[in-house]
Structure 1
């Protein structure tokens, strides 16, 4: 980490908008070690094998026909920042002109905040299915952040190839969801834009936030279900240790996770998985997959907490 480069990038933030995204990228990278991407031939082959095997198993277990994205990348942390800074810029576009009475100071503070957020995420993201929201016509992508996968496997004291493979099943399940539900990106984009525009008007659009949270709870909960039930190996120890990691962390990490809404993300994982576990236990994983066949079949917030209501409403 180069503190001088971080401060200089933020202090030199320029332009006319509320955030200088060039400065954000530079500062986030200066605050983050890229990590090693010196993969062995076996590791490279392992990623490819994991993704292909996950595709085949997820197709079989869920009954969903889908294809993998054309782009599947094994990245280091700086690659991940490059891939995501444009998404952050698109999402925050409705607030682009909200610079306030001291635009230079506000721009530097906003740019610094976004850089810290990206740097924290870059150090913690394991894999990402990227639907490139608000990027019309852009093909979806799939990323694995190799240094983080290796680091977390070591910290959890689990076999790195097995952990990597289990994570691949989670991310490939996202490909299945978006492949089965072409309406899903539009739904997420609409709720996201409404929420951001509300913030730009100085209000919290609770309905849009509720819609976004409910949809993402379904997206993450289904992926949690399938990564376990489609996985072709032992995963109970991985599940227990990963969930303990999500709940744990030191005070600074907990503060950052709260600031970035990652506590809500953990709740989405847990609440969504509990819903889909109940549905799959009652009717099977293929029945749970019906949720992606029609927007009307998404569970409501109330149904997420009472799966029997969804089972009574949806023909599975």
Structure 2
């Protein structure tokens, strides 16, 4: 619980143990079946790498390579706790300094750290059964969970993949390859675009630096968020009137200042681009290598749209997961529109620098991005700068 700076603001060990205790049991598989799943996912990751790089025309240098790790749910939890710990360190140091200035005792800080650790554990236990794969961008490497020389690793959560393929009733071999195509695209994005990781980290740290730490302000925002979640009729009325409610009602809203809203808009655009690009590539490569891709896509989309219980849907909104689903949809439309108009090389200009990333508005109006980045150039496969 302690470090050189005194009691931690978050009890990270408690976060791991809490999440592990609350984890849902995975699908029943024999030891031999589990080994076969792990081996197949690793093989699919290797073949997906070739397919994705050929389709996207992105060729990361060998020095930028990152490992592919097949993990279970506890492994996913440990990896994400390490990522949170690294990314949130500046904010937590800032909060600890504020508490020290206010004269808070070590006992109060320690108790708060335990509460926060337990809350984080509950959150991760909820998410751990829903994630199929993840490119882990910021977590430092460890002996148990190694990373690449520049940071980063690709996680494939084997029990969740098996659970979903059984739930959908699809061909396991096809589904596993389909999933790895999406996740390998994320790996290619970060290994093929050298500045992308640092850009995202700087944006997130800028967002955290702007966080208002006044407890009264935080309590007021929490009340607003809860009321927003409860005001179902009001949200439906806003939607019917065409009002934009896509950023409201999530935990992120609790800490937003005007400066944070600007940063969040840029982050939303980038995440929409990354998720949409992965979906576009997954479906573009799919027909050639995944025979049942049409059936898989249809059933998976139905599963996404259907959601789960009302409580589950409320949690998804509170955590901002419903916004993530919109990122898949909006980002894929942007990528498709740009590729249709300019070709893959023309689209790849998006990876030239942070200045060529689409804005939040351009995600919804791809013609504006094309006009800004390509000017008067038209036609598919217009030569241009890429990340290669």
2:46 corresponds to: 52
CA distance in 2, matches of 1:221, 1:37: 36
**Equivalent position of 1:127 in the other structure:** 133
Deviation >6 Å, runs of 4+: none
- What is the RMSD of the two structures over their aligned residues, measured on CA atoms? 2.5
Cα contact 2:8–2:110 (8 A) shared by 1: no
CA distance in 1, matches of 2:91, 2:112: 12
SS at 1:167 equivalent:
helix
For 1:38, the equivalent position in structure 2 comes to 31
Q: Deviations over 1:44-66 (max 9, x none)?
A: 44223311221111121111112
Alpha-carbon spacing, 1:216–1:183, altered in 2? closer, same or farther (3 Å): same
Larger displacement relative to structure 2 (211-220 or 91-100): 91-100
2:276, 2:330 within 8 Å by CA — same for their partners in 1? yes
Q: Partners in 1 of 2:140 and 2:355 — Cα distance?
A: 23
Say if 1:29 and 1:78, in contact at 8 Å, map to a contact too.
yes
Residue 271 (structure 2) pairs with residue 219 (structure 1): no
* Range moving further from structure 2, 217-226 or 192-201: 192-201
- Counterpart in the other structure of 2:193: 181
Distance verdict in 2 for CA 1:240–1:289, change over 3 Å = farther
Distance 1:133 1:311 in 2: 34
Q: Equivalent residue for 1:107?
A: 113
Displacement after TM superposition at 1:143 (Å): 1.2
**Inter-partner Cα distance in structure 2 for 1:285 and 1:156:** 32
TM-score by length of 2: 0.72
* Whole-angstrom distance in 2 between the partners of 1:276 and 1:139: 27
Q: SS of the counterpart of 1:199?
A: coil
Report if aligned partners of 1:180, 1:293 keep a CA contact under 8 Å in 2.
no
Q: Cα distance 1:295–1:250, how it changes in 2: closer, same or farther (>3 A)?
A: same
Asked if 1:148 is matched to 2:148, the reply is no
Q: Is the 8 A contact 2:16 2:121 kept in 1?
A: yes
Q: Secondary structure at the match of 2:70?
A: strand
Q: What is the CA-CA distance between 1:290 and the residue it aligns to?
A: 2.6
Aligned length in residues: 303
State whether residues 280 and 287 of structure 1, in contact with CA within 8 Å, keep that contact through their aligned partners in structure 2: yes
Q: Select the structure of larger CA radius of gyration.
A: 2
> Against the structure 1 CA distance between its residues 17 and 37, is the aligned structure 2 distance closer, same or farther, given a 3 Å change threshold?
farther
Gaps of 5+ in 1: 1-8, 10-14
Residue 24 (str. 1) matches residue 53 (str. 2) = no
Q: 1:308 aligns to what?
A: 367
Gaps of 5+ in 2: 142-147, 215-254, 375-381, 383-388
User: Aligned pair in 2 of structure 1 residues 185, 70: CA closer, same or farther (>3 Å)?
Assistant: closer
Q: Aligned residue for 2:252?
A: none
For the Cα contact (< 8 Å) 2:42–2:70, is it kept in 1?
no
> Does the 8 Å CA contact 1:69/1:142 hold for their aligned counterparts?
no
For residues 1-316 of structure 1, the aligned pairs below 5 Å read 16-33=7-24, 35=26, 38=31, 40=33, 42-66=36-60, 69-96=65-92, 98=95, 102-132=108-138, 138-202=150-214, 204=256, 205-231=260-286, 232-233=289-290, 234-247=292-305, 248-315=307-374, 316=382
Contact 2:82 2:140 in 1 (8 A): no
SS in 2 for 1:246: helix
Contact 1:58 1:230 in 2 (8 A): yes
